[in-house]
């Protein structure tokens, strides 16, 4: 058990955690006719952002490979083949094979499906939670105290025992209801989600506190705009950039936390590869077969980088002051 | 402002008590056994008797009450005793770790220096690098510097320390032999040569940690600067004919620091919390390592006390962050 | 397998040969400066009576010593005792109910006071105090009295004949502590004596200078040590923390440390690190066997409270053909090559050592033969009727849940075995459980190895010392874990056989060593041939030492550091 790589301290882990932006990434506003021109503008602006387009292309490519790869690739990620273990790169095995003779590329594809799904979902969950709580706490003074104490509580909870309790309480019912893989997926995603929203909530609240006193919000309030509209029209768009940063950092954190969980036996079954786990497994072989740690490391970095550029582009595109410049 | 601070401090007391109760219940609910690390050769009856001796047989509310008394009454008295040489705490039971059968607080104090040295230094280094990098990246958005900075910070963030730590050990300790791979907690710095040793043994863990923290902070700094650079007041300031340096480093910076200060203040408790993986890779054996070994060994009094100390620090620094908000942004009103 | 282990010993001794040439020249105590030892699990206390963790026992073995130690062959070596008492020399009474030990004369504690029989008596009193929760209480089972006959003679009385009376004060887990130091620390007061628990006064080659729990121990040579010119090292830096890979690197690749313990790493990684030429990997073999336990009872969740209890026999694992085929389908040598390297040999026995107790009747399991395994299943009527690759019979599918604790090597082994079993038509689902939960005794957790809510599970077990009686008695019907016993009990596979129980009783009545060996072999064969367990790997304990460190004799029967007084620095 010993070389358990735990996630960074329960407190320390969440220095810059969290989550994707449901309000931003959403495509549904395009359906609204009256908003159509505005989202068209956003798209125009986004299209001109080279970094964002490159990021989106890379990200889409990774998603495509990961989603459709298993149908096109002849090797099974869990199939061991002792005769061809520890092979280097070759035409049959472009990324080589591991110590049990499993095809590394197949494992990367399989791992990517899990890691991306976990990363995106957990990030979305923690972002929604964090933004919601942050906005409510910052905007409505009466809610501020209780919500922030709740945040303190979650920041202070030790992550590992919390996870042990969750696994103990919910693993059996969830696997019974959804099957082993989906059940554990739900468990892990919610575990990461509910333990990583606090940073976003704090930051969003801080920004909202400042925004609330800004002239345009005061003006909106003085003409009797209901709070819900002020929040959605005026406050949310202005806190997008810290949310975007949280989102990009959050994907990486979620992917890495998942690897730590799997490693501790709290996650997916051991024969179920994920990028974080592949990276972890590759570390002891760093000098012998550097590829084993390098490929998953590269994949995680690429995803984080591309999402970061997309986030940059989105933020610029959504900012009316930059748009059209 | 002052009343606000006082009121918040008062509120903190019930909050912390509640937090301590939740932590206690959580730890008690979690599966695990302090005897799990004992070899299987030890018979079950012996293990059962050892659990008795640890006080595990008692009902939960009594154990919680005992812990409360020990933490809030016995330990402060004991601290007073050791400061003044008095004997108030004589004979009263302190919080004992199950693994080491010794007072938890003494071990925590023993672990503090290395954690503060390593994680604290990394934090300061990271702030010193991240803020200028963030400012310049935002000011010259999409310049070569910005692109390179984005790349490095994102890679730095997405590579976990169990990988980067081993990588730097292989390069700098195994191959080049420049730095030791193991941190010696016994080193006492009382001469320049010892200081040199200390710097050498701190170098690798600080590097790994600082890379991670810098990555996060500089992203927040850059984003926040970008937000402010397009504000009307910046245009006004420029229109007034202020020097560019003043505009960026005084007007924009001050406003951009607001969210960044939160992130920095909220990160301070994590300095005391240590860094589990980095401490493990370099054998720094600070608070992070203490926590993880206590969790693995199901040493509940140790985990409970440590997490509660973190909780106090977190609540405290949340408050500090809020007060700093008020100071940095006069528009925010607390009443 | 015998030849194999003999071969391995030969290889090991060959590897030691160059060191033997550079014999220790001898000289004054402390001539070789500091010795750096790295235990990646750090010692948390130096009193083995309060913690039986290997790290704590072995670090304490530098300081406090027992009457007798075991050497690397599992043979007893008088340590603080003058000689080994036997019936022949009159040290053990004819009716086997008492044993009389004589201490070596003139032994001093590190504080200069003499070791007396009173200290030995006190040690017994300390560990048997009902409120103390002594971690080594099993060593004093059946001991009714320990008395000091004179200053150098101790008599231990048992409440029944003990054919193997060498338990109390024998081996690193029951050393002698000083009465003067621990007098006020008995029973409930044990944890209040932090100074004593962190710095016991001992008779060993080193004494504690500074102890930082779970971090580092600093020890210095004991000026009152009984042997002239030993230990060769003036001080020991006993560091803990990190993981096995980091520890191996510190000895083999950067050379910062001289000795690292428990390097359960992939053989390839060890080879690659050793290539730097700074250190050597050595292994000691004791009785540890990695095995797959076969649940004889039905673990289905639908049974509720009667899950994994003897009320419901397992639907298919009780058919001997199934576990027999599962055993035949496992390539044990491959598991060693991939997972264990120098730290393991394939085995077919639950009791692989000492030599006198090791059976040879089951060695056929070493021949990996999946075709034979398939044939066995076909013959027993298990065939794949619906063409999904999984065999069935009477509506029962051969589908097993295979659990173990979290550990990189175990997960690789699990994957390989899963492949092997699915190849012969047995569906296998893997699960790994955090070790602190798996090996914990928490009755509320469904994941402990004793509850065994799975069809098969894999872990290592062994026994301390060299006598297997208590170990083999663990598979009696009465030792089956069940809700009534709070799931406590050694009989994890829920094996139950009257014949076996009778044979265990016979072992308890037999004093003759050779006869005991024969009975132990028969017990072992019964367990293995009834498929209560599938033994996989006889595990050694791999350690690494710097090539400049001499005198190491790897030992799994006692502390690995048992002869540290003889260690020395090889001068170039």
With beta carbons under 8 A apart, name residues in chain C contacting A284. Answer: 245, 265-266, 269, 408
Tell me whether residues B158 and A304 touch, CB distance under 8 A.
yes
Beta strand C568-569 with C153-158: parallel, antiparallel or unpaired? unpaired
Minimum Cα–Cα distance from B283: chain A residue? A3
pLDDT digits (tens, 9 = 90+) for A28-84: 444 444 545 667 777 887 888 888 888 889 999 999 998 888 888 888 877 777 777
Minimum Cα–Cα distance from C255: chain B residue? B174
Tell me whether residues C419 and A79 touch, CB distance under 8 A.
yes
Nearest CB neighbour to C242, from listed B111, B185, B283:
B283
Residues A118 and A29 in one domain: no
Tell me whether residues B173 and C442 touch, CB distance under 8 A.
no
Q: In sequence order, which residues have a C-beta less than 8 Å from that of residue C243 and are 6 or more positions away?
A: A2, A3, B280, B281, C40
With beta carbons under 8 A apart, name residues in chain A contacting B155. Answer: 301, 305
Tell me whether residues B181 and C212 touch, CB distance under 8 A.
no
Which tokens go with C549?
């460190």
Distance from CA of B201 to the nearest CA of C (A): 12
Residue of higher predicted confidence among A50 and B118: B118
pLDDT recorded at residue C20 = 41
| B278 in Cβ contact with B202 (< 8 Å) | no
Nearest CB neighbour to A252, from listed B147, B151, B158:
B158
Other residues' Cβ atoms within 10 Å of the Cβ of residue C355: 12
CA distance C501 to C497: 6
Which tokens go with C463?
């026994």
What is the enclosing helix (H) or strand (E) of C216?
A: strand C216-221
Domain extent for A195: 49-318
Nearest CB neighbour to A285, from listed C41, C269, C407:
C269
| B72 in Cβ contact with B92 (< 8 Å) | no
Closest CA to C458 of C405, C512, C420, C519: C405
Distance from CA of C6 to the nearest CA of B (A): 27
Sign (positive or negative) of CA dihedral C348, C354, C357, C360: positive
Distance from CA of A293 to the nearest CA of C (A): 14
Q: Describe chain A by its helix, strand, coil percentages, rounded to 5.
A: 70, 0, 25
Beta strand C456-461 with C399-405: parallel, antiparallel or unpaired? parallel
Residues A200 and A128 in one domain: yes
Query: Over 80: is that where the pLDDT of B56 sits?
Result: no
CA distance B287 to B246: 42
CA distance B222 to A245: 10
CA distance C110 to C395: 71
With beta carbons under 8 A apart, name residues in chain A contacting B22. Answer: 153, 157
Residue A175 lies in a domain: yes
Interface partners of C (3+ CB pairs, < 8 Å)?
A: A, B
Q: In sequence order, which residues have a C-beta less than 8 Å from that of residue A262 and are 6 or more positions away?
A: A268, A270, A272, A274, A276, A277
Tell me whether residues A9 and B270 touch, CB distance under 8 A.
yes
Residue A42 lies in a domain: no
CA distance B102 to A183: 42
Tell me whether residues C134 and B46 touch, CB distance under 8 A.
yes
Tell me whether residues B273 and A10 touch, CB distance under 8 A.
yes
Closest CA to A54 of A306, A232, A262: A306
Residues A211 and A274 in one domain: yes
Minimum Cα–Cα distance from B312: chain A residue? A156
CA distance B44 to C440: 11
Q: In sequence order, which residues have a C-beta less than 8 Å from that of residue C476 and are 6 or more positions away?
A: C491, C500, C501, C504
**Mean per-residue pLDDT over chain B, rounded:** 83
pLDDT tens, N- to C-terminus, chain C (572 residues): 344 444 444 344 434 444 444 455 677 888 888 999 999 888 888 998 888 788 888 999 999 999 999 988 888 899 999 999 988 888 899 888 999 999 999 899 999 999 999 999 999 999 888 887 788 888 888 899 999 999 999 999 998 888 888 888 998 888 999 999 999 888 888 878 888 999 999 999 999 999 998 889 999 999 999 888 889 999 999 998 888 888 898 899 888 899 998 888 888 888 888 888 889 999 888 888 999 999 999 998 888 888 888 889 999 999 999 999 999 999 999 889 888 888 889 999 999 888 778 888 888 888 899 999 999 999 999 998 888 889 988 888 999 999 998 777 888 888 889 988 988 999 998 888 877 778 876 777 788 888 899 999 999 888 877 888 888 888 989 889 888 877 888 899 999 999 999 999 888 888 788 888 899 999 999 999 999 999 999 998 889 999 999 888 988 888 889 999 999 998 76
Tell me whether residues C245 and A164 touch, CB distance under 8 A.
no
Residues A205 and A259 in one domain: yes
* Residues 146 through 185 of chain B touching chain A, CB cutoff 8 Å: 147, 150-151, 154-155, 157-163, 166-167, 170
Tell me whether residues B226 and A9 touch, CB distance under 8 A.
no
With beta carbons under 8 A apart, name residues in chain A contacting B162. Answer: 5, 280, 283
Residue A93 lies in a domain: yes
* Residues 89 through 148 of chain B touching chain A, CB cutoff 8 Å: 142, 147
Closest CA to C91 of C149, C18, C159, C132: C149
Residues A240 and A102 in one domain: yes
Specify the 3-state DSSP secondary structure of C155.
Answer: strand
Which tokens go with B209?
């940690």
CA distance C3 to B214: 58
Residue of higher predicted confidence among B130 and B231: B130
Residues A91 and A182 in one domain: yes
Closest CA to A221 of A240, A234, A208, A204: A234
With beta carbons under 8 A apart, name residues in chain C contacting A174. Answer: none
Q: How far is CA B133 from the centre of its chain?
A: 23
Nearest CB neighbour to C250, from listed B49, B99, B182:
B182
**Which CA distances in Å does C27 have to B118, C31, C531, C550, C566?**
42, 7, 56, 15, 12
pLDDT digits (tens, 9 = 90+) for A207-239: 888 788 888 888 888 898 888 888 888 888 788
Burial profile C44-75: b = 16 or more Cβ within 10 angstroms, e = fewer: bbbbbbbbbbbbbbbbbbbbbbbbbbbebebe
CA distance C499 to C520: 13
Tell me whether residues A100 and C414 touch, CB distance under 8 A.
no
Distance from CA of C355 to the nearest CA of B (A): 20
Burial (CB count <10 Å: 0-12, 13-18, 19+), residue C372? middle
Q: Where are the strands (E) in A138-255, listed by range?
A: none
Residue A44 lies in a domain: no
Tell me whether residues C429 and A2 touch, CB distance under 8 A.
no
ipTM of model over 0.95: no
Domains contained in chain B, CATH given: 1-335 (1.10.3720.10)
Interface partners of A (3+ CB pairs, < 8 Å)?
A: B, C
pLDDT recorded at residue C19 = 43
Tell me whether residues A164 and C431 touch, CB distance under 8 A.
no
CB–CB contacts below 8 A, B to C = 190
CA distance B302 to B71: 12
Query: Over 80: is that where the pLDDT of B296 sits?
Result: no
To test the contact with chain A by mutation, choose from B138, B148, B163 the residue with the greatest count of A C-beta atoms within 10 A, namely B163
* Residues 282 through 301 of chain A touching chain B, CB cutoff 8 Å: 283, 286-287, 293, 297, 300-301
Residue A151 lies in a domain: yes
Residues A28 and A57 in one domain: no
Distance from CA of A269 to the nearest CA of C (A): 5
Nearest CB neighbour to B219, from listed A158, A161, A249:
A249
Nearest CB neighbour to A162, from listed B26, B151, B219:
B26
Tell me whether residues B100 and C214 touch, CB distance under 8 A.
yes
Residues A25 and A71 in one domain: no
Residues A215 and A78 in one domain: yes
Closest CA to C259 of C561, C570, C565, C571: C561
Angle at A271 between CA C451 and CA B161, to 5 degrees: 100
pLDDT recorded at residue C572 = 61
Nearest CB neighbour to A304, from listed B154, B275, B288:
B154
State the residue for tokens 């000795």. Answer: C259
Specify the 3-state DSSP secondary structure of B330.
Answer: coil
**CATH number (domain holding residue A113):** 1.10.3720.10
Number of domains observed in the structure of chain A: 2
C52 shares contact with chain B (CB less than 8 Å): yes
C484 shares contact with chain B (CB less than 8 Å): no
Residues A87 and A132 in one domain: yes
Tell me whether residues B163 and A241 touch, CB distance under 8 A.
no
CA distance A258 to A279: 12
Tell me whether residues B283 and C254 touch, CB distance under 8 A.
no
Residue A160 lies in a domain: yes
Residues A31 and A166 in one domain: no
With beta carbons under 8 A apart, name residues in chain B contacting A244. Answer: 223
Residues A55 and A181 in one domain: yes
C9 shares contact with chain A (CB less than 8 Å): no
Residue B116, CA atoms < 13 Å, CB-side half-sphere? 6
Task: Check residue C482 and report its DSSP letter.
Answer: -
C191 shares contact with chain B (CB less than 8 Å): yes
A242 shares contact with chain B (CB less than 8 Å): yes
State the residue for tokens 């010119």. Answer: C229
Angle at B5 between CA B2 and CA B8, to 5 degrees: 150
Which tokens go with A317?
């595109």
């Amino acid at each position: 058990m010993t070389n358990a790589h735990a996630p960074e301290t329960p407190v320390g882990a969440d220095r810059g955690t969290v989550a994707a932006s449901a309000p931003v990434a959403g495509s549904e506003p395009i359906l609204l006719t009256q908003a159509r021109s505005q989202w068209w503008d956003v798209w125009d602006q986004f299209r001109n952002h080279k970094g964002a387009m490159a990021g989106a292309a890379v990200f889409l490519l990774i998603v495509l490979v990961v989603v459709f790869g298993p149908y096109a690739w002849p090797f099974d990620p869990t199939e061991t083949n002792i005769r061809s273990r520890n092979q280097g790169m070759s035409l049959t095995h472009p990324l080589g094979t591991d110590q049990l003779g499993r095809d590394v590329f197949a494992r990367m594809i399989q791992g990517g499906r899990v890691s991306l799904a976990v990363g995106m979902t957990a990030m979305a969950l923690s972002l929604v939670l964090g933004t919601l709580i942050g906005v409510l706490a910052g905007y409505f003074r009466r809610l501020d105290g209780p919500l922030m104490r709740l945040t303190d509580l979650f920041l202070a909870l030790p992550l590992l025992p919390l996870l042990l309790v969750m696994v103990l309480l919910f693993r059996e019912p969830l696997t019974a209801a959804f099957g082993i893989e989906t059940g554990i997926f739900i468990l892990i995603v919610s575990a990461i989600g509910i333990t990583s929203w606090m940073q976003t909530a704090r930051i969003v609240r801080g920004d909202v506190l400042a925004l609330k006193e800004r002239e345009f919000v005061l003006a909106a309030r003085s003409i009797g705009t209901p709070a819900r509209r002020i929040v959605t029209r005026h406050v949310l768009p202005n806190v997008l950039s810290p949310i975007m940063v949280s989102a990009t950092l959050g994907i990486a954190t979620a992917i890495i936390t998942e690897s730590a969980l799997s490693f501790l036996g709290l996650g997916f079954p051991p024969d179920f590869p994920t990028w974080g786990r592949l990276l972890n497994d590759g570390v002891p072989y760093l000098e012998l077969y550097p590829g084993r740690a390098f490929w998953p490391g590269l994949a995680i970095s690429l995803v984080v980088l591309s999402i970061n550029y997309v986030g940059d582009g989105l933020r610029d595109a959504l900012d009316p002051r930059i748009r059209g410049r | 402002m002052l009343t606000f601070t006082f009121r918040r401090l008062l509120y903190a007391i019930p909050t912390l008590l509640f937090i301590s109760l939740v932590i206690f219940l959580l730890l008690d609910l979690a599966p695990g056994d302090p005897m799990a690390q004992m070899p299987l050769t030890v018979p079950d009856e012996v293990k059962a008797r050892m659990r008795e001796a640890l006080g595990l047989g008692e009902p939960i509310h009594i154990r919680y009450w005992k812990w409360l008394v020990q933490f809030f009454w016995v330990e402060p008295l004991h601290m007073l005793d050791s400061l003044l040489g008095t004997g108030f705490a004589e004979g009263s039971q302190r919080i004992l770790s199950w693994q080491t059968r010794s007072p938890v607080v003494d071990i925590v104090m023993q672990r503090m220096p290395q954690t503060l040295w390593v994680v604290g230094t990394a934090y300061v280094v990271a702030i010193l690098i991240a803020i200028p990098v963030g400012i310049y990246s935002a000011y010259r958005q999409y310049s070569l510097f910005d692109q390179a900075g984005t790349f490095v910070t994102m890679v730095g963030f997405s590579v976990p320390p169990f990988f980067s730590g081993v990588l730097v050990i292989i390069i700098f300790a195994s191959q080049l032999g420049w730095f030791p791979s193991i941190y010696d907690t016994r080193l006492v710095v009382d001469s320049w040569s010892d200081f040199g040793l200390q710097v050498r043994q701190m170098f690798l863990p600080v590097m790994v940690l600082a890379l991670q923290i810098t990555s996060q902070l500089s992203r927040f700094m850059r984003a926040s600067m970008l937000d402010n650079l397009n504000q009307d007041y910046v245009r006004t300031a420029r229109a007034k004919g202020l020097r560019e340096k003043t505009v960026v480093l005084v007007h924009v910076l001050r406003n951009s620091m607001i969210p960044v200060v939160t992130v920095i203040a909220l990160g301070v408790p994590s300095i005391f919390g240590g860094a589990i993986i980095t401490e493990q890779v370099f054998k720094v054996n600070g608070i992070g390592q203490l926590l993880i070994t206590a969790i693995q060994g199901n040493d509940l009094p140790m985990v409970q006390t440590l997490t509660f100390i973190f909780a106090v620090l977190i609540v405290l620094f949340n408050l500090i962050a809020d007060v700093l908000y008020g100071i940095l942004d006069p528009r925010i009103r607390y009443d | 397998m015998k030849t194999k282990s003999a071969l391995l010993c030969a290889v090991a001794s060959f590897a030691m040969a160059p060191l033997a040439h550079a014999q220790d020249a001898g000289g004054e105590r402390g001539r070789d400066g500091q010795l750096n030892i790295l235990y990646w699990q750090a010692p948390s206390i130096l009193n083995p009576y309060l913690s039986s963790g290997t790290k704590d026992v072995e670090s304490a073995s530098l300081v406090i010593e027992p009457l007798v130690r075991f050497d690397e062959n599992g043979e007893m070596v008088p340590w603080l005792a003058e000689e080994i008492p036997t019936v022949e020399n009159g040290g053990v009474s004819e009716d086997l109910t008492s044993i009389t030990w004589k201490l070596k004369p003139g032994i001093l504690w590190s504080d200069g006071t003499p070791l007396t029989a009173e200290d030995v008596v006190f040690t017994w009193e300390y560990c048997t105090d009902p409120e103390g929760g002594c971690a080594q209480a099993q060593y004093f089972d059946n001991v009714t009295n320990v008395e000091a006959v004179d200053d150098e003679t101790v008599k231990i009385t048992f409440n029944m004949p003990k054919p193997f009376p060498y338990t109390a004060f024998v081996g690193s887990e029951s050393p002698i502590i000083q009465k003067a130091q621990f007098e006020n620390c008995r029973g409930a007061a044990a944890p209040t004596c932090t100074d004593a628990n962190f710095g016991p006064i001992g008779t060993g080659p080193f004494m504690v200078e500074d102890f930082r729990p779970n971090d580092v121990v600093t020890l210095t040579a004991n000026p009152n040590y009984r042997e002239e010119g030993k230990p060769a090292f003036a001080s020991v830096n006993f560091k803990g923390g990190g993981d096995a890979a980091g520890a191996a690197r510190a000895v083999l690749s950067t050379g910062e440390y001289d000795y690292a313990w428990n390097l359960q790493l992939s053989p390839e990684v060890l080879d690659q690190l050793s290539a730097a030429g700074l250190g050597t990997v050595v292994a000691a073999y004791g009785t540890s066997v990695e095995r797959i336990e076969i649940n004889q009872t039905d673990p289905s969740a639908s049974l509720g409270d009667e899950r994994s209890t003897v009320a419901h026999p397992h639907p298919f694992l009780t058919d001997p053909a199934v576990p027999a085929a599962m055993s035949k389908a496992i390539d044990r040598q491959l598991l060693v090559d991939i997972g264990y390297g120098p730290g393991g040999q394939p085995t077919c026995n639950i009791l692989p050592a000492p030599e006198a107790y090791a059976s040879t009747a089951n060695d056929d399991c070493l021949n990996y033969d999946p075709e034979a395994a398939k044939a066995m299943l076909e013959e027993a009527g298990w065939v794949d009727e619906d063409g999904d690759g999984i065999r069935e019979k009477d509506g029962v599918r051969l589908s097993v849940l295979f659990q173990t604790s979290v550990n990189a090597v175990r997960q690789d082994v699990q994957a390989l075995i899963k492949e092997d079993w699915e190849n012969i038509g047995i569906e296998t689902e893997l699960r790994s459980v955090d070790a602190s939960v798996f090996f914990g005794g928490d009755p509320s957790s469904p994941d402990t190895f004793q509850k065994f809510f799975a069809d098969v599970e894999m872990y290592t077990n062994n026994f301390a010392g060299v006598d297997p009686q208590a170990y083999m008695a663990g598979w009696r019907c009465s030792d089956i874990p069940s809700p009534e016993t709070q799931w406590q009990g050694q009989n994890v596979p829920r094996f139950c056989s009257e014949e076996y129980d009778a044979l265990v009783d016979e072992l308890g009545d037999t004093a003759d060593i050779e006869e005991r060996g024969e009975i132990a072999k028969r017990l072992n064969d019964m367990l293995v041939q009834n498929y209560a367990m599938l033994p996989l790997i006889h595990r050694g304990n791999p350690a690494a030492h710097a090539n400049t460190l001499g005198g190491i004799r790897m030992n799994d029967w006692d502390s690995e550091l048992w002869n540290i007084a003889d260690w020395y620095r090889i001068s170039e």
